[in-house]
Amino acid sequence: MVIRMSTDGKALTVWLSGELDHHAARTMREQIDAAIDRSAATHLQLDFSGVGFMDSSGIGLIMGRYRLMQGRGGTLAVVGASERLQRVMKLAGLNKLPIWGTTQHKEVTRS
């Protein structure tokens, strides 16, 4: 799993690529949470356009970041998920959360 990050003001965009499984999720959580702290982001966008496979660890990653952003008074947007990944997310009940983004922030800086 490879991630790329960009900040634009109080928005942090994270592009995910590869397979999101148990082993990758732990490292990703740590990297994303550290970037949120560094940037003091109030909006987090997770772009799943490069993810080919995701198991329940990916659901946990999304839910944990959703709770983290809610606790900070911020928001989370999930964008770029394939139809297959969207089905997995919806089966897990994520379709009931206000996380489905439609716009993407342009890349400004990489961290």
What radius of gyration do the chain's Cα atoms show? 13
pLDDT of amino acid 101? 75
Expressed as residue numbers, the domain containing 32 is 2-96
pLDDT of residue 53: 93
Number of domains in the chain: 1
Domain presence at residue 111: no
Cβ contact 59:88 at 8 Å: yes
pLDDT score for 7: 93
What are the Cα distances from residue 101, in Å, to 26, 44, 60, 80?
Answer: 24, 10, 18, 9
pLDDT by 10-residue block (mean), the chain, 111 residues: 90 95 93 95 96 94 97 96 94 92 47 39
Q: What pLDDT does residue 18 have?
A: 93
CATH code, 73: 3.30.750.24
Residue 88 domain-assigned (yes or no) = yes
